[in-house]
Amino acid sequence: MSELFGGVLAAGAVRETVADAAWLQAMLDVEAALARACDAPADVAAEISGACRAERFDIAELGAAAAGAGNPVIPLVRALRSAVSLAAAEYVHKGATSQDILDSAAMLVAHRALGPLLDDLMGAAEAAARLAEAHRATPVAARTLLQQALPTTFGLVAAGWLTALDQAIDRLAEVRSHRLAAQLGGAAGTLSALAPSTVGRLAAELGLTEPILPWHTDRTRVADLAGALGTAAGVVGKAARDIVLYAQTEVGEVSEGRPGGSSAMPHKRNPVAAVSASACAAQAPGLVATLLGAMAQEHQRAAGGWHAEWRPLRTLLLSTGSAAYWLRECLTNLRVDPDRMRANLSLTGDAMMAERVAATLAPSLGVDAAHDKVRATLASGQYLADAFPEVDLSLDTGYAGSLVDTAIRHHSSRETL
């Protein structure tokens, strides 16, 4: 990620957890854990662990050497063996293949990145919960196909964001706890040079799940992670899109309580956090598709499909993490304008009460005839209150308040991750 665009597209704490140094350290952590899992003598395991520090290796050199080897693990193992004694070198990478190290490192990177990513999603959810509670009864126009439909409340709008965020958080937490597994199968997935119990010990050392079998060409774990990240990005993108629309000059129902200027127009207050969240979230679907498209892999080791996962997986973590960061910023600082919301409700006169009028007339006229009569009344320019004085046309937001209460109760009852 170029630093020029990093402030917008690589924002928040996830950025450092998926940087080159973080990936390198994760690979070294796997090598150190493997030495311990292989029952290396204590002094040997300690020596290898002491050498497994990312700052001791040149990332650029490893990257250049990976071009000849096909992956960065091969030059890393060579460099690591050179950094320890001959006795310790025998236990470096013992019984493993390059994919074991890189897949386990990928799961470790994902596990670490999901920590701050989930923190930001939970922060956004808490902000949405506060908005839902504060504006439980604040009327606003519900819009379908971008047209005013019926009255609702802004609290119910925020509650919708809240429940979607909660579901995305739960799915990501489930993947983090149960689907991020260590990888250890050896050259062809048969554990020919290792005891089967080594897999469990490696998983325990890394804090990852123990797989049933080596999963070199079973990429369902990567797919589950991609799907959960893509879903979270979609949830963030929906809320961000709503806010951008609410913040339009002609609508003006919300604004961001943070700077958001223009290079050419001093008067503008752009919803930068919402726009940035939307931009980051928009990258996710293509990245998810790439990871799903790479699932069909040949026999016991892929000829390109595995390699195709590396960059999009890192970028997907980064993009979704950045989107979550920006949405948290946006919702935490969101300013709501109830007066503007109520003013916008009056733009169509009392037309938004048409559903109630039609429902009142239907028992005597029939449903279709009632709808036709209401439609003709509105087309003539009459107010419904004048044409149907017998109908109560006071503002009605249905069960919005109780629905908000349900969402907040559910959110409050959830277990803390």
Residue ranges in 10-71 assigned as alpha helix (H): 14-17, 20-37, 42-51, 59-69
**Which of 53, 171, 269, 301 is flagged as catalytic?**
301
Helix (H) or strand (E) holding 143: strand 139-144
Amino acid at 369: A
Q: How far is Cα 282 from Cα 271, in angstroms, rounded to an integer?
A: 17
Looking up tokens 């017998």, which residue turns up? 390
HSE on the CB side for 199, CA within 13 Å? 21
Sign of the CA dihedral running 241, 247, 253, 259:
positive
Q: What is the DSSP letter of 241?
A: H
What are the beta bridge partners of residue 255? 335
Amino acid at 87: A
HSE on the CB side for 272, CA within 13 Å? 12
Helix count (H) and strand count (E) of the chain? 19, 4
What are the beta bridge partners of residue 334? 256
To the query of whether residue 278 is one of the catalytic residues in this protein, the response is no
Give Dmax over CA atoms of the chain in angstroms: 95
To the query of whether residue 143 is one of the catalytic residues in this protein, the response is no
What are the beta bridge partners of residue 143? 148
Closest to 225 in 3D by CA, of 269, 178, 189, 183 = 178
Helix (H) or strand (E) holding 150: strand 147-153
Q: How far is Cα 153 from Cα 47, in angstroms, rounded to an integer?
A: 63
**Which of 85, 262, 346, 402 is flagged as catalytic?**
262
What is the per-residue DSSP string for 173-218?
A: HHHHHHT-B-----TTSS-TTS-THHHHHHHHHHT-BPPSS--TT-
Positions annotated as catalytic residues are: 262, 301
